[in-house]
Structure 1
Amino acid sequence: MTGEDYPSDDDKSFVSAKSSHDPKPETRFSAEEEASLLAESNKLKTEANSLFAHGSFEEAVQTYDRALSSCPNYLEYEIAVLHSNIAACHIKSEQWKEAIDSATKSIDALERIDPLPKPKTSQDATKAKLQPQSAVEEIDDETAEKIEALEKSGRTRDDVQKIRVKAFLRRAKARSETGGWAALQGAYEDYTFLATVPNLSPLDKRTVQKSMTDIGPKLEDAKSKEMAEMMGKLKGLGNSILKPFGLSTNNFQFVKDEKSGGYSMNFNQNA
């Protein structure tokens, strides 16, 4: 199986450094307690991976949930891995909404460790053009602290990126299978992000490219269908309001002005 559809079997133990998402200091476990809880969580995760490999997806989800319960809730990387694996189980069971939810939780947990760069504003773009290009990535102090904490935990940004790619692939897959304008648009956005990820594996690149090509026509069809349904509902509402007056929406015709592109409304008593 590929990394896209098989849960990550990443069982390295670590003790997380403090992050901005940590609970209050008094709720954190001692190093010994944390290590014990994490060992139990990793043991359950290994059992769940085995259940997944044997096609027992429902039992695997239940075991991953137990692993989540054992894992300290401030160990964001481990939490992200477990949610991503749960998403993989839901995809195998064609439980698309549950898969979207689990993959999103994984993405959110990773975002708290190593946030994705925020989209640049037009002002930022102008400033970038005026300044010399730098080969070094610019990061703010808060992000630098989170990256330092990640490295102290025994993980790297590459580890985060690998799980992030899996979670995005799984969410995009589930969204595309859910169908509907909003879900397909979300899937397209996920694949668009993945297309920008450096060092994406050849298999994942092909998956992303093919999926984006396939979604395009489906997205337009879903948009047209849902817009037609919405207009139909609005027309029905309008007719219910106009009926007591002996009128209907057919009495009102919208005419497009080819020069301005705007519309004018004409009233036709005999329509």
Structure 2
Amino acid sequence: MSGEDYPSDDDRSFVSAKSSHDVHTGSRFSPEEEASLLAESNKLKSDANSLFAHGSFEEAVQTYDRALSSCPNYLEYEIAVLHSNISACHIKAEQWKEATDSATKSIESLERIDPLPKPKVAQDASRGKLQAQSAVEEIDDETAEKIEALEKSGRTRDDVQKIRVKAFLRRAKARSETGGWAALQGAYEDYAFLSTIPTLSPLDKKTVQRSMREIGPKLDDAKSKEMAEMMSKLKGLGNTMLKPFGLSTNNFQFVKDENSGGYSMNFNQNT
């Protein structure tokens, strides 16, 4: 399987951390306290990696959670790595919702460090619609400070991108296994994003291309099935409301106008 199946995203240690209560207080620990907390978190992460390697996925998740509790919350990179590793555990245990949620948390942490470029939007005068153009990277002062702090800690934006790729691969995998129109659509969008990354490894690129081909037909089938189920429920509700009047939804027929694409409604008392 592709690289997203392995939880050990990053085992390097460095001094620069945050506390679990900082998200509420906004305070930072002293360098000494940060170093101690991070060392404890890294030790727990190493233990969790070992548990994963031996197939003890539930115990690995619990240990990664303890590592998260020890890791200061303003150190988004470390938090992202741990959430991504937790997602890998849930995938191995076929816990698709939990895997999706953990991967999303990883992606959100990385977004707070180094936001993805936002697509430039322009007005298409000929059709009156907003059209997305090439992505434009705009780095504000706060993001620039976070990137600078990241680089001082020994990390780079390339490191962030590597974890981001793994998190997106894991979320896409979990969503595709969840099934259903919304989940499959989300998986397709994740794979579509990954397909735009020029530094994607050949193995991951192959995984993305194959997955997009496989999801296409499943997405169409899920959409048709869910639309049919929704229409059936609406018809049942309509029949309940019309029954006191001696009518049913069969009395109403919708006819499509092939020229305009709109619909007109005909009433048939004898249906």
Alpha-carbon distance in structure 2 between the residues aligned to 1:64 and 1:89: 10
Given that 1:91 and 1:99 are in contact with CA atoms closer than 8 Å, whether structure 2 keeps it comes out as yes
Alpha-carbon distance in structure 2 between the residues aligned to 1:122 and 1:15: 44
Q: As a proportion of its length, which structure holds more strand?
A: 2
Q: Per-residue deviation at 1:211? A: 0.2
* Structure 2 equivalent of residue 238 of structure 1: 238
* Structure 1 equivalent of residue 91 of structure 2: 91
SS at match of 2:255: strand
Given that 2:118 and 2:137 are in contact with CA atoms closer than 8 Å, whether structure 1 keeps it comes out as no
Alpha-carbon distance in structure 2 between the residues aligned to 1:38 and 1:15: 7
Q: Which runs of 5+ in 1 are unaligned?
A: 125-135
1:84 is aligned with what amino acid?
Answer: S
Alpha-carbon distance in structure 1 between the residues aligned to 2:147 and 2:123: 27
Alpha-carbon distance in structure 2 between the residues aligned to 1:160 and 1:52: 23
Work out the number of aligned pairs and report it.
257
What are the superposed Cα offsets for residues 88-133 of structure 1, whole Å, 9 maximum, x if unpaired? 0000000000000000000000000000011211159xxxxxxxxx
List structure 1 runs of 4+ shifted beyond 6 angstroms.
none
* Structure 2 equivalent of residue 164 of structure 1: 164
Alpha-carbon distance in structure 2 between the residues aligned to 1:4 and 1:39: 25
Q: Per-residue deviation at 1:26? A: 6.0
* Structure 2 equivalent of residue 51 of structure 1: 51
Given that 1:17 and 1:152 are in contact with CA atoms closer than 8 Å, whether structure 2 keeps it comes out as no
Please report the TM-score for the alignment, with normalisation by the length of structure 1: 0.90
Range 148-157 or range 249-258, more displaced: 148-157
Compared CA separation, residues 118 and 16, structure 1 to 2 (3 A): farther
Please report the TM-score for the alignment, with normalisation by the length of structure 2: 0.90
* Structure 1 equivalent of residue 222 of structure 2: 222
* Structure 2 equivalent of residue 130 of structure 1: none
Alpha-carbon distance in structure 1 between the residues aligned to 2:69 and 2:146: 24
Q: Per-residue deviation at 1:12? A: 2.2
2:142 is aligned with what amino acid?
Answer: E
Alpha-carbon distance in structure 2 between the residues aligned to 1:123 and 1:262: 26
* Structure 2 equivalent of residue 184 of structure 1: 184
* Structure 2 equivalent of residue 29 of structure 1: 29
Alpha-carbon distance in structure 2 between the residues aligned to 1:96 and 1:257: 43
SS at match of 1:119: strand
* Structure 1 equivalent of residue 201 of structure 2: 201
What are the superposed Cα offsets for residues 70-105 of structure 1, whole Å, 9 maximum, x if unpaired? 111111100000000000000000000000000000
Alpha-carbon distance in structure 2 between the residues aligned to 1:149 and 1:41: 20
Q: Which runs of 5+ in 2 are unaligned?
A: 125-135
2:54 is aligned with what amino acid?
Answer: H
1:252 is aligned with what amino acid?
Answer: F
Alpha-carbon distance in structure 1 between the residues aligned to 2:104 and 2:119: 19
Q: Per-residue deviation at 1:137? A: 6.1
SS at match of 1:44: helix
SS at match of 2:198: coil
Alpha-carbon distance in structure 1 between the residues aligned to 2:166 and 2:113: 16
Given that 2:81 and 2:163 are in contact with CA atoms closer than 8 Å, whether structure 1 keeps it comes out as yes
1:79 is aligned with what amino acid?
Answer: I
* Structure 2 equivalent of residue 10 of structure 1: 10
Given that 2:17 and 2:71 are in contact with CA atoms closer than 8 Å, whether structure 1 keeps it comes out as no
Once superposed, what is the RMSD of the aligned Cα atoms? 1.9
2:151 is aligned with what amino acid?
Answer: E
SS at match of 1:98: helix
